[in-house]
């Protein structure tokens, strides 16, 4: 299953006009600061209004300006993990998951299932403030996946972590994304993370996709100077 998006919108000063395809796996979205990466995630989620285009996940149509289809955020069922994880500070780990499961009207045994799958049982009664960055990331991921989303969007999932935690969480995240086989988009500014997390890359520059493909394609014929530098940085660090 793939997430296929062809969307256009004005977000503040920026015009976003993109054509994206997760092609059955994880698409890594990279680009310079201010390219519109986070705004693009908001468009996909339905939190910002798209003006034109079409968005589908598998056979499900979420947005189509011509047919007048525009599902609200609540009905798109796209999982989202923002950079700061957005865990509810007043709720325990377990209650964070329970809130999601209840909101989705899903069976409550999903909560225990997700706690088990993500190794969070020992942390179930802790509050987010007492968790490490890596633990928060795991809770956020477990919570997003506990409601069985159609797709998953991760915004800079490793940016908030310190160096020792980063490698461990990166490996865990890459494994999870592979195991779930869910159409996913991971935004990152870090070449090492980008290379580890997905086979396919889309480069966003000034609201447009300047190049999209697998790593080798980008390396063989970089379309812009940014792509060239990013691929070089990624391969240089392997």
Partner 1 sequence: MTAQRVALALIGALLVLFLALPIVSLFASASATDVASGLRHPLVWPALRLSLTTTLITLAIVVTLGTPLSWTLSRRQGRFWQALESAIQLPVVIPPAVAGVALLLAFGRRGLFGAVLGGAGWSVTFTTTAVVMAEVFVSAPFFVQAATSAFRRIDPQLVLVSRTFGASPLRVFFRVAVPLAAPGLGAAAAMAWARALGEFGATLMFAGNLPGTTQTLPLAIYTALEADLRAAQAISMALVVVAFSLLWFVRVTLKSSLEVS
| Residues near partner 1, by CB under 8 A | 42, 45, 47, 72-82, 84, 86, 88-90, 99-100, 103-105, 144, 147, 149
Nearer to partner 1, 91 or 124 (CB): 91
Three-state SS annotation for the chain: CCEEEEEEEEECCEEEEEEEECCCCEEEEECCCCCCHHHHHHHHHCCCCCCEEEEEECCEEEEECCCCEECCHHHHCEEEECCCCCCCCCCCHHHHHHHHHHHCCCCCHHHHHHHHHCCCHHHCCCCHHHCCHHHHHHHHHHHHHHCCCCEEEEECCCCCCCHHHHHHHHHHHHHHHHHHCCCEEEECCCHHHHHHHCCEEEEEECCEEEEEEEHHHHHHCCCCHHHHHHHHHHHHCC
Closest CB 208 distance from partner 1, rounded Å: 24
- CB-wise, 88 or 168, nearer to partner 1? 88
The least distance separating partner 1 from the CB of residue 87, rounded to whole angstroms, comes to 8
Which is nearer to partner 1, 110 or 166 (by Cβ)? 110
Q: Which is nearer to partner 1, 103 or 130 (CB)?
A: 103
Nearer to partner 1, 78 or 185 (CB): 78
Q: In angstroms, what is the minimal distance from the CB of 71 to partner 1?
A: 11
**Smallest separation (angstroms) from partner 1 to the CB of 74:** 5
The distance of closest approach from Cβ of residue 103 to partner 1 in the complex, given in angstroms and rounded to an integer, is: 4
């Amino acid at each position: 299953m793939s997430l296929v998006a062809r969307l256009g919108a004005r977000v503040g000063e920026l015009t976003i006009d993109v054509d994206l395809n997760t092609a059955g796996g994880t698409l890594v979205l990279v680009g310079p600061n201010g390219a519109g990466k986070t705004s693009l995630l908001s468009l996909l989620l339905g939190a910002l209004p798209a003006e034109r285009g079409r968005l589908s996940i598998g056979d499900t149509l979420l947005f189509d300006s011509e047919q007048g289809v525009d599902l609200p955020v609540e009905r798109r069922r796209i999982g989202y993990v923002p950079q700061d994880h957005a865990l509810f500070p007043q709720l325990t780990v377990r209650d964070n998951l329970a809130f999601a499961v209840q909101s989705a009207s899903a069976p409550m045994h999903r909560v225990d299932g997700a706690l088990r799958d993500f190794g969070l049982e020992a942390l179930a009664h802790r509050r987010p403030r007492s968790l490490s960055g890596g633990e928060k990331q795991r809770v956020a991921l477990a919570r997003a996946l506990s409601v069985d989303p159609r797709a998953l969007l991760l915004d800079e999932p490793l940016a908030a972590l310190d160096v020792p935690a980063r490698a461990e969480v990166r490996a865990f995240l890459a494994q999870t994304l592979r195991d779930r086989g869910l159409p996913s988009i991971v935004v990152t500014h870090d070449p090492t993370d980008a290379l580890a997390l997905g086979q396919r890359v889309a480069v966003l520059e000034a609201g447009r996709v300047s190049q999209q493909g697998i790593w080798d394609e980008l390396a063989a014929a970089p379309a812009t100077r940014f792509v060239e530098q990013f691929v070089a940085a990624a391969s240089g660090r392997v």
